[in-house]
Amino acid sequence: MPVSRRLSPELDVLAVQYPGRQDRLHEPCVEDIGTLADRLVPELLPLADRPLALFGHSMGAAVAFETVRRMEERGVAPAILFVSSRPSPSSIRDECLHRSGDRAIIAEMQRLNGTAAGILEDPAFLDMILPALRGDYKAVETYRCRPPHAAVDCSVVALMGDDDPQAPHEECLRWKEHTRGRFDLHVFEGGHFYLNTHAESVMSIIAERIRQ
């Protein structure tokens, strides 16, 4: 909602809601990046008669990248892809947090400082969000870009926090290898959820790049 308020009426803002959370809480989680992209493409194709930009944060950046790839394969060319707090598709890590116990996942969320500490101590809240969190970690940790150095035609804008353990500078910089268009990298002070404190700057970058 804050993004929609900030960018309207110049831009229409649509949110992607994954299964397994909020108003889709009772739907099974999707634990595969490619499947999420496959489901998203039919929802976006009817909007392809106007300039279209995608923004993805963390796991969403990988989903957005794979979605753009699939749309370009269908002859639809999004104008620009914004990827936030996510290493490039060719940056592979051997991680398996999704196989760990609940406490390990909670500890990781605390380390990334993206959720209020008190909420993570609420058993009812944890029961509600842990299946989705585990599914997200499985999707991210098992994702492999095929081919490894696949590239999109549209421009890519990468955004990151300078103290993000999940998305170090050198791995975010490698997004430039995954576009045949223009590439830009914006670095902000902060960690994985830098955009919570730099929302206005992030939205200004989005608006200005789409205008260009």
Mind telling me the catalytic residues?
Answer: 58
Residue whose pair of structure tokens reads 């944060």 in the numeric block: 57
Query: CB within 8 A of 139, min separation 6: which ones?
Result: 30, 31, 32, 33, 36, 59
Taking the CB of residue 21, how many other CB atoms lie within 10 A of it? 17
Residue 51 is encoded by which pair of tokens? Answer: 């300039």
Quick one: CA dihedral 111, 92, 134, 19, positive or negative?
A: positive
Residue 141 near residue 133, CB atoms below 8 Å: no
Alpha-carbon gap, residue 212 to 209, rounded angstroms: 5
- Residue spans of beta strands (DSSP E) within the chain: 53-57, 80-84, 155-161, 183-188
Cα distances from 15 to residues 12, 18, 43, 113, 203, in angstroms, run 10, 10, 11, 23, 15
